[in-house]
Homo-oligomer: A and B are copies of this chain.
């Protein structure tokens, strides 16, 4: 499919892509660039075969026909500048970032005439970060959202769609705006909430920390899993999608307040109705799965 794929940023996602590419023979060569200088050694000690670590980003870019950017979403500009300067004319650029509108705007403003970029977001991951934890099957039966910069299904969009499908993904095409709104609800707000809940627990139960850990199976732990994620990555997600996330969090605060008001005997039937309605959404997820709709596993 490609001659030389360059992966910029070699963590969990980058290394999983490398393994998937090798397993499915999608490129003759894989090159890696990472500003973290330990990556070079760790590639060797993790027994990645046929992967070339390149020290100079200029060199790495000039040899590639596909660049996959796997770095925090507020660090793209520098990379885009290098790609504009050193990229081949037939180069395709894609990424794996969790926000899209900020990047599409940056690209359309300064880099549109310089190279071809197909924004993508594989909704896949584990709570473990680092290249040591990468595996080819990470993407199997997961969704990937492609948000074309001009909202058109060009030849390169189709190529990138095919690329992710070859890694086992189900690809959807949505505008960057839609993407950020949906991910705001399904991912960014839950993360904000998970962090806030853990902080509330830390604040309230300083002397009881071990109890919180011990008894976390009652619900708390479900929420802590996602707080294990990479803080650099998530700081950038929060900053990049700030407007939508803050708007959603205000709406959430209203729900929490209302919930508190309903916790009285007088409101108990209203409370029951709420719990019942909410349960139906969960049941919807399960039902959609059973009906054969494609819903990734828990």
Contact = CB atoms under 8 A, between A and B. Distances in A.
Interface of A: 98, 123-124, 127, 142-143, 145, 172, 181-183, 185-205, 208-229, 231-232, 234-235, 238-239, 242, 245-246, 248-253, 255-257, 259-260, 263-265, 268, 271-272, 274-279, 281-285, 288, 294-296, 298
Contacts of A195: 259, 274-275, 278
Question: How many chain copies?
Answer: 2
Contact of A279 (B205, B227, B263, B277): B227
A204 B184 CA distance: 11
A218 to B, nearest CB: 3
A171 B201 CA distance: 23
Contact of A199 (B215, B223, B245, B278): B278
Contacts of A198: 278, 281-282
Contacts of A281: 198, 201-202, 209, 212-213, 224, 227
A105 to B, nearest CB: 16
Contacts of A226: 219, 222
Contacts of A127: 282
A256 B263 contact: no
Contact of A190 (B188, B220, B285, B296): B220
A61 B131 CA distance: 61
Nearest to A225: B222
